[in-house]
Amino acid sequence: MTEEESLLAAIHEEVKLHAYQASWPRAYDLERDRLLSLFPGIFQDIQHIGSTAVPGLSAKPIIDILAGVESITIAERLALPLCTSGYTTSSEFNDSLQDRKWFMRWANGHRTHHLHLVVHDSCVWHERLGFRDALRASPALAARYASLKKALAAAHYKDREAYTDAKTDFIRTVLHKT
pLDDT tens by residue, 113-162: 999 999 999 999 999 999 999 999 999 999 999 999 999 999 999 998 89
Single pTM value for the model:
0.93
Reply yes or no on whether the pLDDT at 6 is more than 90. Answer: no
Run of H or E residues at 102: strand 100-107
Q: Strand, coil or helix: what is 115? A: strand
Q: 32 pLDDT band (50/70/90 cuts)?
A: very high
**Domains defined along the chain, listed by start:** 1-174 (3.30.460.10)
Q: What is the pLDDT of residue 90?
A: 84
C-alpha distances in angstroms, 161 versus 14, 27, 168? 11, 24, 11
Q: What is the pLDDT of residue 161?
A: 87
Q: What is the pLDDT of residue 7?
A: 66
Q: What is the pLDDT of residue 109?
A: 80
State pLDDT tens for residues 60-117.
999 999 999 999 999 999 999 999 999 998 888 888 888 999 999 988 888 999 999 9
